[in-house]
């Protein structure tokens, strides 16, 4: 039978050199491990099991170098092949910087022992081969980590989409906190949701740019793209409304709505519902600012049947006025019915106009809405109408 062809030997390499490298592989591995322990703090801090896996990686790197040196066409400088000896979790827990440090020490170890291992007159060829191999492994390692980062980014984007969808549906489950922690959500401070439309299709590159911008704007950020709708969830300390305003240019033309602040991410569904309801209702207010706060369109949201807006006007506007007692509610109702005229209101109530002014200022302090402003007066007027309807039906909303 014909004999198998002999393996290709690299230029300058000899069978004697290959044999000596194979014989000295244990020596090289031991020397490399001693240097790792002496020079790399991160290596010393690893668990014993992980350090043993690093030893296998170093041994695999040296063995792959010898195989490549014997047969350069085999392509055995591939970093993925070197890490194949270790579990996938190890490759994910060691950064690219750590990997390159590992490669550098292994290469330097081989260089240090090259004169001892190389036959007479072949030291230079061996050293050049080590340098070529180290360069190829470094490029290969960078490629491996780039592919891993791309895969991880795609996984993060899918997880982020699931989290945003769960918040919009208002049904966050027990896994919410672990999921957002995996996305880097710190969870300190308040949360709000900002919604608007895009100005065209959002590809992966543009989506990644949106995420970077959102994370620069606030401590925590999640981004969701659903068709032509863009949803941004911001969290953290500081003025989140002001931080959200810096992202306005990332949205397409048309209204942009900022939902109310809530205490934590698990409550973000309430902010999202208000923002999405406002996005539909804002067409009833042609002069709405951009961005507009969801609570600025409480009347329009009520007309659309939004129960949260109905409840907010009752509990935050009507109930406080009813609770203070006295003539405030009557004064406000009369003022609005009399076309916001101080004199006409004063005549109806048999008081001085300055008394009406004083009461209107108290109403503004109590409710947060200014009766003398046309838009805010409209909000107060709808709140009074809702409150009276609620009382006539038994006061169920107010009692709730």
- Residues 324 and 366 sit within 8 Å (Cβ to Cβ): yes
pLDDT on residue 2 = 43
Backbone phi and psi for residue 168, each to the nearest 5 degrees, phi listed first: -65, -35
pLDDT on residue 319 = 93
pLDDT on residue 171 = 67
Between CA 319 and CA 325 the distance in angstroms is 10
pLDDT on residue 152 = 53
Of the candidates 160, 170, 167, 283, the residue with the CA atom closest to the CA atom of residue 222: 160
pLDDT on residue 304 = 93
Domain 306-399, second-level architecture: Orthogonal Bundle (1.10)
pLDDT on residue 149 = 55
The first and second tokens of residue 351, run together, are: 């008081």
Q: Please give the model's pTM, rounded to 2 decimal places.
A: 0.62
Host H or E run for residue 222: strand 220-226
Q: Degrees (nearest 5) of the Cα angle 12, 18, 21?
A: 120
User: Which residues in the chain are classed under CATH 1.10.10.2840?
Assistant: 306-399
The first and second tokens of residue 329, run together, are: 């509610």
Task: Classify 24 as helix, strand or coil.
Answer: coil
Between CA 204 and CA 8 the distance in angstroms is 45
Residues 6+ apart with CB under 8 A from 67: 74, 76
Q: Is the dihedral of CA 268, 274, 277, 282 positive or negative?
A: negative
Neighbours of 9 (CB within 10 A): 15
Between CA 125 and CA 186 the distance in angstroms is 54
**DSSP designation for 41:** H
Residues 6+ apart with CB under 8 A from 108: 35
- Residues 383 and 295 sit within 8 Å (Cβ to Cβ): no
Strand ranges, E, within 26-145: none
The first and second tokens of residue 4, run together, are: 């198998």
Residues 6+ apart with CB under 8 A from 196: 229, 230, 251, 252, 254, 255, 256, 257, 279, 291
Of the candidates 165, 243, 171, 228, the residue with the CA atom closest to the CA atom of residue 198: 228
**DSSP designation for 246:** T
The pLDDT tens digits along the chain (400 residues) read 444 444 444 555 567 777 777 887 788 888 888 888 888 888 888 778 777 877 777 777 777 777 777 776 655 555 556 666 556 556 556 666 777 777 778 777 877 777 677 766 677 777 777 777 777 776 766 666 666 555 555 555 676 777 777 777 776 666 677 777 767 788 788 999 999 998 877 777 777 788 888 888 988 888 888 888 888 989 988 899 999 999 998 898 899 999 999 988 888 889 999 999 999 999 999 999 999 999 999 999 999 999 999 999 999 999 999 988 889 999 999 999 999 999 999 999 999 999 999 999 999 999 999 999 999 999 999 999 999 999 888 765 555 4
User: Which residues in the chain are classed under CATH 3.30.70.2730?
Assistant: 176-296
- Residues 371 and 336 sit within 8 Å (Cβ to Cβ): yes
Is domain 176-296 classified as CATH 3.30.70.2730? yes
Q: Degrees (nearest 5) of the Cα angle 56, 61, 65?
A: 145
């Amino acid at each position: 039978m014909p004999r198998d062809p002999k393996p290709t030997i690299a230029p300058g390499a000899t069978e004697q050199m290959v044999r000596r490298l194979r014989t000295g592989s244990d020596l090289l591995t031991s020397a490399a491990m001693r240097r790792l322990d002496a020079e790399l703090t991160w290596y010393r801090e690893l668990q014993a099991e992980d350090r043993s896996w690093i030893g296998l990686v170093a041994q695999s790197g040296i063995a792959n170098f010898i195989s490549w040196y014997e047969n350069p066409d085999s392509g055995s400088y591939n970093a993925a092949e070197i890490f194949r000896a270790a579990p996938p979790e190890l490759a994910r827990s060691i950064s690219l910087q750590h990997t390159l440090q590992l490669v550098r020490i292994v290469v330097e170890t081989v260089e240090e022992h090259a004169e001892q291992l190389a036959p007479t007159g072949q030291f230079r060829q061996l050293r050049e081969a080590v340098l070529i191999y180290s360069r190829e492994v470094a490029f290969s390692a960078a490629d491996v980590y780039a592919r891993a980062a791309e895969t991880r980014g795609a996984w993060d984007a899918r997880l982020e989409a699931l989290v945003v969808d769960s918040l919009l549906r208002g049904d966050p489950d027990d896994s919410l906190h672990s999921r957002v922690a995996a996305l880097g959500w710190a969870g300190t401070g308040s949360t709000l949701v900002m919604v608007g439309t895009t100005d065209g299709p959002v590809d992966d590159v543009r989506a990644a740019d949106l995420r970077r911008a959102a994370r620069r704007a606030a401590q925590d950020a999640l981004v969701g793209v659903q068709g032509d709708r863009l949803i941004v969830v911001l969290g953290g300390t500081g003025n989140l409304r002001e931080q959200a305003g810096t992202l306005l240019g990332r949205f397409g033309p048309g209204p942009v709505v900022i939902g109310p602040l809530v205490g934590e991410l698990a409550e973000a569904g309430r902010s999202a519902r208000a923002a999405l309801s406002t996005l539909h209702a804002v067409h009833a207010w042609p002069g709405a600012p951009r961005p507009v706060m969801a609570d600025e369109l409480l009347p329009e949201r009520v007309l659309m049947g939004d129960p949260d807006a109905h409840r907010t006007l009752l509990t935050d506007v009507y109930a406080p006025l009813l609770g203070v007692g006295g003539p405030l509610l009557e004064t406000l109702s009369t003022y609005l019915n009399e076309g916001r005229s101080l004199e006409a209101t004063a005549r109806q109530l048999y008081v001085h106009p300055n008394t009406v002014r004083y009461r209107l200022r108290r109403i503004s302090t109590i409710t947060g809405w200014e009766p003398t402003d046309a838009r805010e007066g409209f909000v107060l007027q709808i709140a009074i109408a809702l409150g009276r309807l609620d009382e006539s039906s038994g006061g169920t909303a107010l009692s709730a």
